[in-house]
Amino acid sequence: MPNNQFKKGELYSFITGKASTAIARRLQKKFNTAGLNITIEQWSVLYHLWKQEGISQQDLCNATFRDKPSITRLVDNLEKLNLVKRVASENDRRINQIYLTKQAQKLQEEAMQLADETLNEALIGVPPERVDVCKEVLQIVYDNLK
Amino acid sequence: MPNNQFKKGELYSFITGKASTAIARRLQKKFNTAGLNITIEQWSVLYHLWKQEGISQQDLCNATFRDKPSITRLVDNLEKLNLVKRVASENDRRINQIYLTKQAQKLQEEAMQLADETLNEALIGVPPERVDVCKEVLQIVYDNLK
DNA sequence: TTTGAATAGTTGCACAAACAACTATATGCC
DNA sequence: GGCATATAGTTGTTTGTGCAACTATTCAAA
């Protein structure tokens, strides 16, 4: 009976993602305070577009681990905020390529700075090697279930 | 500059809670397949009521790390499903004490069995001591931010 | 004892997630 | 070429979340 030391009480907070919820709320508050008018979910999409523009909505689904309707609506809202533009692909007219506006490009530095800050606050008092273990465990969990 | 080894790419999945999302989806599928007509969020409320009945909505807020409106609506829906009942407290009429119906009591064993199963699947190949480290890190993160 | 603050819960609104059903375009096989 | 199938994206519905504003009840202090 493997991993049975993992008792129910702790199981619960694993499933509900208490820690990641706390991080997300902290980051959202930082965005609000700084006057960055975006949600964490919108940020998570922008994050991938900052790394590479012009990817498809399907690419964003894979990158953010969301389904297609979720991405459709996130892109809808980002378009309303004038942060991204849908551009129909020349080669394959089913595909929308998503591009950043200048406004979104300007956000990158501040948003990523606040994200870094949040992570640093979250990890105060945690030795680097323990963070690495945690990261690896979470990756295995993800791989086991995906 | 502490914890700077925690690079942005990994930060991202920490914040979005990729692992806990994957666990929650797997458990939800198990509920659906087994014909348990409840959501993960409803389960997380029932989980605390199975431990102790008759607690207040505010207690459920603290236990589940949710705000009051979220609990109001979760209890609304659980009441519609005939799984819980609100009972006004005798001592303090502001308080709703939440009690389980017989139907909800019957769900406990099966639901917790499926939750255990999910956790075991998630943690295949992860040595117990690494699970412990992960748990501790997530607890510190939570404490740092709450 | 009355009044002001704190606490418990509810409601409205905007945003997001999961699922199913749908449209449009592309691909592959006969 | 034409048809079945796969892929990309959209829309509708239900559920949940976070914030602000609200009601009702309790508590505490002048």
State the Cα–Cα distance between residues A32 and A43, nearest whole angstrom. 12
Report which of B15, B13, B7, B26 is spatially closest to residue B123, judged by C-alpha positions: B26
B99-131 pLDDT, tens digit each: 999 999 999 999 999 999 999 999 999 999 999
Token pair recorded at residue B134: 């992960």
B70-100 pLDDT, tens digit each: 999 999 999 999 999 999 999 999 999 999 9
Q: One-letter amino acid identity for B93?
A: R
Mean pLDDT along residues A43-59: 96
- Per the CB < 8 Å rule, is B16 touching A112? no
Q: Does domain A38-112 have CATH number 3.40.50.300?
A: no
Mean pLDDT along residues A53-73: 96
Between 1.10.10.10, 1.10.260.40, 2.40.110.10, 1.10.4100.10, what CATH number should domain B8-117 receive? 1.10.10.10
Task: Note the CA–C1' distance, B122 to D16, in angstroms.
Answer: 24
B7-50 pLDDT, tens digit each: 555 667 777 788 999 999 999 999 999 999 999 999 999 999 99
Exposure string of A73-110, with b = 16+ CB inside 10 Å and e = fewer, is ebbebbeeeebbeeeeeeeeeebbbbebeeebeebeee
Domain ranges of chain B: 8-117
Q: In this predicted structure, what is the pLDDT of residue A111?
A: 95
State the Cα–Cα distance between residues B121 and B114, nearest whole angstrom. 11
Task: Note the CA–C1' distance, A76 to D1, in angstroms.
Answer: 38
- Per the CB < 8 Å rule, is A14 touching B22? no
Mean pLDDT along residues A100-127: 95
Mean pLDDT along residues A117-131: 93
Q: In this predicted structure, what is the pLDDT of residue A4?
A: 44
**Minimum CA–CA partner of B46 in chain A:** A12
Report the interhelical angle of B68-80 vs B57-64 (nearest 10°). Answer: 110
